[in-house]
Every structure is written in C-alpha cells, then in structure tokens.
Amino acid sequence: MTTAKSDPTFRPERQREVAEALRAVLPPSSVLSDLEDTRPYECDGLSAYRQPPMVVALPDCERQVIAVLDVCRRLNVPIVPRGAGTGLSGGAMPIADGVVLSTARLNQIVRMDAYSRTAVVQPGVRNLAISEAAAPHALYYAPDPSSQIACTIGGNVAENSGGVHCLKYGLTVHNVLRVRMVTIDGEVVELGGEALDAPGLDLLAAFIGSEGMLGIVTEVTVKLVPKPASARVIMASFDDVVTGGNAVARVIAAGIIPAGLEMMDRTSSRMVEPFVKAGYDTDAAAILLCEADGTAEEVDEEIARMTAVLEAAGASAIQVSQSEAERLRFWSGRKNAFPAAGRISPDYYCMDGTIPRKHLARVLTGIAQMEGRHGLRCANVFHAGDGNLHPLILFDANRPDELERAEAFGAEILALCVEVGGTITGEHGVGIEKIDSMCVQFTAAELEAFFGVKRAFDPPMLLNPNKAIPTLNRCAEFGKMRVSAGLLAHPDLPRF
Ligand SMILES: Cc1cc2nc3c(=O)[nH]c(=O)nc-3n(C[C@H](O)[C@H](O)[C@H](O)COP(=O)(O)OP(=O)(O)OC[C@H]3O[C@@H](n4cnc5c(N)ncnc54)[C@H](O)[C@@H]3O)c2cc1C
C-alpha cells in the first residue's frame, strides 16, 4: 500500500506537467491533483489494494475524453478508466504515475426508444437508472448486478457484468447492441449497430469484457425487454449443500430456464437474515431461490414443474412467494449478501469463478475442505444456474498473514474451477486480483494472442496497463511458465 507523497517514485514535477496539460484542455474543476481530492479514487471494491492516482480527469463530453487521451498519449501517461468504482477485481485501481479518467459526469440518458425497445446512454449512467427511466414504458434493462444501484453501464460493458436474471436474459454482451468508444489515438469508433447483427468481425463481443484496456466507452445502446406480467419465486431448503447443488443441475436438465436460480449456504443465509429479514430458512444447509416469470398461467405452470423437480431432488421444504412484496423480500437477502458479510467479519474477499453446473457439488465439497486447510471461514453465495460461484472468504486484515491466507484460499478455489473445466472469472473480471490465475488458465500462446488484440487497439499500451493479461515474466515468477536456460518462450512479449 502506498500514498502518493510518501511513495519514493512520486515525482511532483511530473504531476505538475500532466495536471497543467490537462487543465489546458478541461475546465480547472475537472482536473484533480491534490491528495485529498485524489484519495477517494485510490481503490475500487477490492479495497485491500490502494494507490492514489497522480491526477484524476473528469471529462463531461466525448470531445473532452478525446482531449484527455491526446494529452496522455503525447506525455506517455497511463490511463485508468473508472465508472462507479464498484468493481471487485481491482480493474479501476489507479497507477501511481497515471491518470484516472472518471466517467462520473458522462451521466445522461441520450434517448429512450420504446418503439424499438432500446436506450442510448452515456457510460456513467447507473445500471438501475436505465430500468427506472424505461419503467413508464413497461420495459427494463435485464442484466442486474447486485451493485446495480451504483455501478455504471460503462463498467458493466468493461466487465461483461451479470446478475440474477442473466440465466434467462443473458449477460451484458447479450443485451448491448452498440458501443461508441474512443481509442488511444483519439479516434471515435462504433462497434455493433442498432440492428440485431452488424457486418464484419464481431468486435463488439471482443470489446465487451475487455476491462478498460482497448478504449474508453462514451455511449452505449442497450436492449430493453418487456417487464413480465408476473413473477414468483420458490425458496427450497436442502439438508446438505451437495443435494442442493445437484438439484440445480436437475432443474436445468428438466428443460426449465428459470428467470433466476441462486443458491446460498447456511453461513450466508445466517449472515444475511438478521440484516435483511428476508424470511430465509436458516436451519437449512443450503437454500435455492428459483424464479418463474411471464403471464400468470406460465408462472403457475413453471412453479409447479420446478416444485416437482426440487422435491424429487431432495428438497426438505418448499415455500413459494405469495405476493410481490414477499418475492422482493426473498431476493433482497440474496442481493444484500456481500454487504451482510461485514456483519460477521471485518473483511471479506469475494471470489468469482465459473464451473460446469454438474460439478457444483464437487466444488462445494472442495471449498469446505479448503476452509480447514487455510483456517478461514467461507460463505457461499452464487448464481447457481450459471455455475457462477461467489465464495466470500471471511478474514481480518489486521491479523498477521490473514490477507495472504485469504488470497491463497481464493487462488486454490480458482484452480479447482479450472480443474473441473470452468474459468477463473464469471462476471467480476480479472483486473489485478486474478492476474496470476490467468497463468493457470491460459497457455503462453493464448496470452500472446490476448496481447496481440491489446496492441492492435492500443499500440503504446497506455490503457489500463498491467491489468487482466499477465506478462510471461509474471507467470514465470508465479511458477506457471516454464523457463528454459533462463530464457522465456516469447521474449518479444511485454514485461512490466
Ligand atoms: C456489493 C457488490 C455486488 C456486486 N454484484 C455484482 C453482480 O451481481 N454481478 C456483477 O457482474 N458484478 C457485481 N459486482 C461488481 C461490479 O459492480 C461490476 O463489475 C460493475 O460492472 C462495475 O461497474 P463500475 O461502474 O463500478 O465500474 P468500475 O469499478 O469503475 O470499473 C470496472 C472496470 O471497467 C472499466 N471501465 C469503467 N468505465 C469504463 C469506460 N467508460 N470505458 C472503458 N472502461 C471502463 C474500468 O477501467 C475497470 O476495469 C458487485 C460489486 C459489489 C461491490
């Protein structure tokens, strides 16, 4: 952890040079360089890592974004884009000698088109604000991260964010039609289009999830979907997590795609219940929340089918929401699970791995064994239908070596995800948090291909450098890259 002015690498004359150059192209109040002003930007949701940026730039239009990029390119300054800073993998974590480009002032809904069921929004618009603006047209934006009250659509695009309703309605990548962005050269590029498909290579899909490394998003066209006429949710209890995990696979195998299929273990439901009073069965080893939406008849039919499957899969109790208020109450517990961790532990480390659903039970058993090995508790909350796990490792950073043990525990969970055929991230991105785990997941040739894409968009490598893609040196240090006679296989690749 460093603070700008105690950091031996801090160079006041460089800071002055960059701030002055930015003040020449932005209003003075849009450039922050005093430590008390830059401090609020020192971390994102991965708050164990902090670094105040050299300068923060707050452009309020695309023209100003281009101007910031021009200055940074000319002065060779790295740029970290930032939305609301709710990211959990350190994607918006600043660089000591870099500029944070905040999209907080690019917060306008440009157009709401109920006829074509689309909305055009600036990147700093909050996820929930889109659905609120679409509500009078009985429409909403489906991807719903639990952080949706705060996180921005620019951050969602950069992370390819998901949420409870993504099992049925798709992730960000399935709900964004067009992205307008500025490259490091200051060129404005439109990816995708207003139609359902666009000619040429699908660069939109490559861009979504690229963690601020390929360009700065300045405008997004999202799809809106009709609000379902009705929805109800089942809360099913299980006496052990393995039976609960297997039940998830059986619901999907029965050909049902619930509007949400989430699981919480007992540690999680007991953590949340006193805080939210969601009405959870806190005696159950695990609870599943399974939602059906559609017309009243469709919902009744799907609830009946899911109930039958869950009972056959060994559910010990089933409760179905009887009103909209009760449905929202059931979900409020799940949506508040991360903040609730703060009630039982000074710190928590939220992991994000994805596995084939059929391995849920095996991975949960593995995590339980790791709790003993690392001497730390873990609460399991997850988008079970997508196989996207969010183990919350509970620790106290003030106790010697607990952060290191939490990180080792997290890395072991991700390695297990890869071992069963899954991935090291579901929706929170790689950032700085999982960069070493990328060495576990990908070969040197694959990492080289990722750098190839990065270089094609950002030749000077100034956009969010050192995030998401590990250098081969880093993998070698991490012990996951073979170094023969002191030589790396790809000496041409960047090494920071
Ligand atoms: C309590 C809590 C619950 C959460 N639940 C979920 C969940 O259910 N699902 C989920 O997917 N995530 C979840 N998250 C993680 C986080 O909210 C998402 O990753 C979200 O998309 C981040 O948005 P943001 O605006 O905060 O972006 P930031 O954290 O500011 O940035 C995230 C990344 O996007 C880049 N970026 C931001 N804006 C731009 C832009 N305009 N152009 C280019 N790059 C940009 C940044 O450089 C960074 O790499 C949760 C976080 C918290 C704290």
Q: Is the pLDDT of residue 491 over 60?
A: no
**Using an 8 Å Cβ cutoff, are 145 and 383 in contact?**
no
- Structure confidence at residue 191 (pLDDT): 97
Query: 45 is written with which tokens?
Result: 């949701």
Question: Which residue lies with its CA nearest to atom 50 of ligand 1?
Answer: 147
Q: What is the DSSP string of 272-323?
A: HHHHH-----TTSSEEEEEEEEESHHHHHHHHHHHHHHHHHTT-SEEEE--S
Q: Is the pLDDT of residue 492 over 80?
A: no
| Spatial separation of the C-alpha atoms in residues 73 and 50, rounded to whole Å | 25
Q: Which atom of ligand 1 is nearest to the CA of 88?
A: 15
Q: Is the pLDDT of residue 4 over 90?
A: no
Average pLDDT of the segment spanning 74-88? 97
Average pLDDT of the segment spanning 72-96? 97
Q: Is the pLDDT of residue 1 over 60?
A: no
The residues, any chain, with a CB within 8 Å of residue 420's CB and separated by 6 or more, are 355, 356, 359, 362, 363
Q: Which of 161, 157, 152, 148 is nearest to 215 (CA)?
A: 157
Which of 151, 181, 348 has most ligand 1 atoms within 8 Å of CB, for mutation? 151
In DSSP terms, 237 is beta-bridged to: 287, 317
Q: What is the pLDDT of residues 361-406, one digit of tens each?
A: 889 889 999 999 999 999 999 888 888 999 999 999 899 899 999 9
Query: 328 is written with which tokens?
Result: 């929202």
Q: What is the pLDDT of residues 144-185, one digit of tens each?
A: 998 999 999 999 999 999 998 899 999 999 999 999 999 999
Kindly indicate the confidence band of residue 489, based on its pLDDT and cuts at 50, 70 and 90. Answer: very low
Give the rounded percent of residues in the chain with a pLDDT score beyond 70: 95
Residue 83 amino acid letter: G
Q: What is the pLDDT of residues 245-290, one digit of tens each?
A: 889 989 999 999 999 999 999 999 999 999 899 999 999 999 999 9
Counting Cα atoms < 13 Å in the Cβ hemisphere of 309 gives 23
Cα of 413 from ligand 1 centre, angstroms: 22
Q: Which residues line ligand 1 (CB under 6 A)?
A: 44-45, 80-88, 91-92, 103, 123, 145-147, 151-152, 154-156, 158-159, 161-163, 211-212, 216-217, 338-339, 427-428, 464
Cα of 494 from ligand 1 centre, angstroms: 26
Cα of 428 from ligand 1 centre, angstroms: 7
- Structure confidence at residue 490 (pLDDT): 40
Give the rounded percent of residues in the chain with a pLDDT score beyond 90: 80
In SS3 terms, 368-384 reads as: HHHHHHHCCEEEEEEEH
Which pTM value belongs to this model?
0.91
Q: Is 233 exposed, middle or buried (0-12, 13-18, 19+ CB in 10 A)?
A: buried
Residue 72 amino acid letter: C
Q: Is the pLDDT of residue 470 over 80?
A: yes
Residue 400 amino acid letter: P
How many residues does this entry show for the chain?
496
DSSP letter (8 states) at residue 169: H
| Spatial separation of the C-alpha atoms in residues 470 and 456, rounded to whole Å | 17
Mean pLDDT across the chain = 92
Q: What is the pLDDT of residues 295-335, one digit of tens each?
A: 999 999 999 999 999 999 999 999 999 999 999 999 999 98
Cα of 485 from ligand 1 centre, angstroms: 41
Q: How far is CA 366 from CA 185, 211, 249, in A?
A: 47, 30, 18
Average pLDDT of the segment spanning 131-154? 96
- Structure confidence at residue 488 (pLDDT): 41
Residue 315 amino acid letter: A
Rg (CA), the chain: 23
Highest mean predicted confidence (pLDDT) among 156-160, 335-339, 479-483: 156-160
In this structure, the dihedral spanned by the alpha carbons of residues 292, 298, 303 and 308, taken in order and rounded to 10 degrees, is: -130
Cα of 89 from ligand 1 centre, angstroms: 9
Kindly indicate the confidence band of residue 495, based on its pLDDT and cuts at 50, 70 and 90. Answer: very low
Q: Which atom of ligand 1 is nearest to the CA of 172?
A: 11
Kindly indicate the confidence band of residue 6, based on its pLDDT and cuts at 50, 70 and 90. Answer: low
Domains of the chain: 12-102 (3.30.43.10), 109-226 (3.30.465.10), 237-338 (3.30.70.3450), 434-496 (no CATH)
- Structure confidence at residue 480 (pLDDT): 57
- Structure confidence at residue 195 (pLDDT): 80
Residue 343 amino acid letter: R
